[in-house]
A and B are shown apart, each in its own frame.
Chain A
Amino acid sequence: MTASTAIGERSDRERRIGRVVKGVFLACAVLTVLITVGIIFTLLRDATTFFAQVPVADFLTGTEWKPTQLTGDGEYKFGVLPLLSGTILITVVSAVIALPTGLAAALYLSEFASETTRSVLKPALEILAGIPTIVYGYFALVYITPFLEWIGLPVETFNALSASIVVGVMIIPMVSSISEDALSAVPDDLRQAAYGLGSTKFDTSVRVVVPAAVSGIFSSFVLALSRAIGETMAVTVAAGQTPRMLSILEIDQNLLQSSETITAAMVNVAHAEGGGGTPAYYSMFALGLVLFVFTFSLNIGAEIIRDRLREEYQ
């Protein structure tokens, strides 16, 4: 009798503890959503403050970015276009390097590599993603730019090309690991069927496996682009801080010159602005908002593409 009451009390207490504990864990999970809400709220609030001082139209169509130094006509300039073109330039060139290389690595790993090669190659690729971006910036500035000079390119000390090269190398693992997952997820039946029809490994991988995994591959491309757009330190260190409008006709020149991306501009403003309250301070949040909108939509887009892949094989 007494024993059963004791057990009843104990299990009552246990149940209460269990409920509290569950609540705490739930709070931790919800906190992660609050971080996103916090990011969006902060960016919107301070960007709004910025747009109260600088008209949205001036920001979106302005071709000059001089947030902390007065220009000749005694004004600060907050045009996002030069920064946007810097970001696009570096993202596109790094994508040209990373997407084919990453896809090739993924295809090799999933279709051709032996178990031993895989166990070496995969971690080696992961190392590329693990090196801090500031170190990549240092690589670009101190070793790659002089190398480009040595092979005869008339590069400036700070140039978009060296930055693009390191950003490209940095995002290879992102392309290769996600693409490889997609390629490995292609059912073996398809490969067997292709071999049965007399296909070689080359035919099978290029004409059967890659097309079957195309949405996963595409999703890895989109994620890599998003990563390149958000990349900050390598670009700040290697490409310099000269906001410059892209001109399609002189794209080769632009690559060899210094350039400034959205992310680099944020870092440079943060350096110049100690306190807060100036338009330059709030401009960081407007830039942050632009950056967030770009990367967020790309990430969501990649997810939608990947979900479609999952449906195909289930």
Chain B
Amino acid sequence: MSVETDSGTAGTGSADGADPDAGDNPFARSGWGPLYRALRDKAFAFALLLAALSGIAMVFILLAYVAVDAFSILDPEHGSWVDWQFLTSLPSRTPAEAGFLAPIVGSLLILIVMVFAVFPIGIGAAVYLEEYAPKNRITRLVRVNIANLAGVPSVVYGLLGLAVFVRGIGLESGIVLVGGLTVGLLVLPIVIVSSQEALRAVPDSYRQASRGMGASEWQTLRNVTLPQALPGILTGTILALGRAIGETAPLIMIGAATSVFSVPTTLFDSVSAMPMQIYNWRARPQPEFRYGVVAAGVVVLLATMILLNATAILLRNRYQRSDT
């Protein structure tokens, strides 16, 4: 915010001339003008950097707090909240016995549903837009629409899932399948946009070479363009999955339980998910839940996301290197 004042005073200080000419600067001719101006440059850059770092610093401090609480670093008498028992037990009303197994499995099942539902459709739409789409009104509509879908609040997707899959098709509320499909709708635009980028990165000369050898459009796509774009598409999809795993609001809207007491095994079982369980635990009155169990849940959720993102980045780096 100090930056705003900086620029504000600077603006009024030289508002006499509309032309940003150095001649308007009252310090331009005095001996210490250049020094002042150089200092101002440095101070401004520093203030900007400080502002840029403020948000980052805050989040990293908070993450450190969570880690301290989750591994109970300041309370050596109590063991770490993230332990084997936590990862393999069912939820419980007693903090010491509470576990994260059901939501971990639930989140993974939701991801699996999403991969099968979203991946083909997302790639299909991206391929159409990049490889086939004529420049006409429908194409433009689809493009604008995808950009807008990405801006629809997640809670609204939850309403759509509720109305279509539960009230419409008649699936039971709060089951794995509905959860996966609903969150899938939410990340579909992200999958499409990243797949489009991956397809765009395939050099046109590859396509021309393939067509020049007599291959059809579909043969070119199947044998040349898609294999080349696949690492990029996978990377984007995995990143989208990472985003999906943290989504809570759509799951609440479709009636998913915040806590289930049995591990879901089929697509039609009631499902909780990691963020849902965190949402449930944070409302418990005992401080052990607030500062111990929830922190442990947050650590496991973030660790899963980091794992997914790291996979995506490794994948990208590996294929980038072998390509060039």
What B residues does A296 contact at CB under 8 A?
148, 151-152
> A132–B125 contact, CB under 8 A?
no
Min distance, Cβ B175 to any Cβ of chain A, angstroms? 14
Q: Tell me, in angstroms, the Cα distance from A231 to B248 when the chains sit together.
A: 11
- Asked if B91 lies at the interface with its beta carbon under 8 angstroms from chain A, I say no
Q: A108-B48, A266-B155 are in contact. Are A206 and B10 (CB under 8 A)?
A: yes
Partner of A138, one of B10, B133, B294: B294
In the complex, the answer to whether B21 meets A197 with C-beta atoms within 8 Å is yes
Interface size on B, residues (CB 8 A): 96
Q: Does A310 have its Cβ within 8 Å of any Cβ on chain B?
A: no
Task: Say if the beta carbon of A22 comes within 8 Å of chain B.
Answer: yes
| Minimum CB–CB distance for A24 against chain B, Å | 6
Is B124's CB under 8 angstroms from A169's CB?
no
What 0/1 readout, one digit per residue, does chain A (131-160) give for beta carbons within 8 Å of chain B? Answer: 111110111011110000000000000000
B205 at the interface (CB under 8 A from A): no
> What's the Cα separation between A46 and B163 when bound, in Å?
9
B48, B127, B188, B279: the one contacting A32 at CB < 8 Å is B188
Which of B7, B146, B218 is A206 in contact with, Cβ under 8 Å? B7
Binds A, one of B37-45, B72-80, B228-236, B261-269: B37-45
Could you say which residues of chain A place their CB within 8 Å of the CB of B242?
130
Contact of A30 among B55, B142, B219, B309 (CB under 8 A): B142
Interface size grouping (class) on chain A: 35 or more
Determine the residue in chain A with the shortest Cβ distance to B221. A21
Give the shortest distance, in Å, between A21 (CB) and chain B (any CB).
5
Task: Give the residue of B164, B216, B290, B309 whose beta carbon is less than 8 angstroms from that of A42.
Answer: B164
How many residue pairs link A and B with beta carbons under 8 A? The number is: 269
Q: Is B208 an interface residue (CB 8 A)?
A: no
Q: Given the complex, which residues of B lie within 8 Å of A210, measured CB to CB?
A: 7
Overall SS of chain B's interface: helix
In the complex, A101 has a CB within 8 A of chain B: yes
Q: Once the chains bind, are A128 and B56 in contact (CB under 8 Å)? A: yes
Residues from chain A with a CB closer than 8 A to the CB of B310 are none
B141:A33 contact, CB within 8 angstroms: yes
Q: Which of B125, B216, B275, B278 contacts A29 (CB 8 A)?
A: B125
Given A29-B125, A233-B275, are A267 and B156 neighbors across the interface (CB < 8 Å)?
no
A223 to B147, CA, bound (A): 12
Q: How far is the CB of B187 from chain A (nearest CB, A)?
A: 12
A133 proximity list for chain B (CB < 8 A):
246, 248-249
B316 within 8 A of A: no
- Whether A288 and B159, one on each chain, are in contact in the complex, defined by CB atoms closer than 8 angstroms, is yes
Verify A28–B124 contact, CB threshold 8 A: yes
B301 within 8 A of A: yes
| Pair B45/A267 contact, Cβ less than 8 Å | no
Shortest CB-to-CB span from A202 to chain B, Å, is: 5
Shortest beta-carbon distance, B256 to chain A, in Å? 10
Q: Is the CB of A104 within 8 A of B51?
A: yes
In the complex, the chain A residue whose C-beta lies closest to that of B37 is A200
Supposing A32-B146, A134-B248, A202-B10 touch, asked if A230 and B153 sit within 8 A by C-beta, the answer is: yes
Extra contacts, 9 of them, besides A207-B10, A232-B248 (Cβ < 8 A), are A135-B275, A135-B278, A135-B302, A201-B44, A202-B40, A207-B20, A266-B159, A270-B158, A303-B144
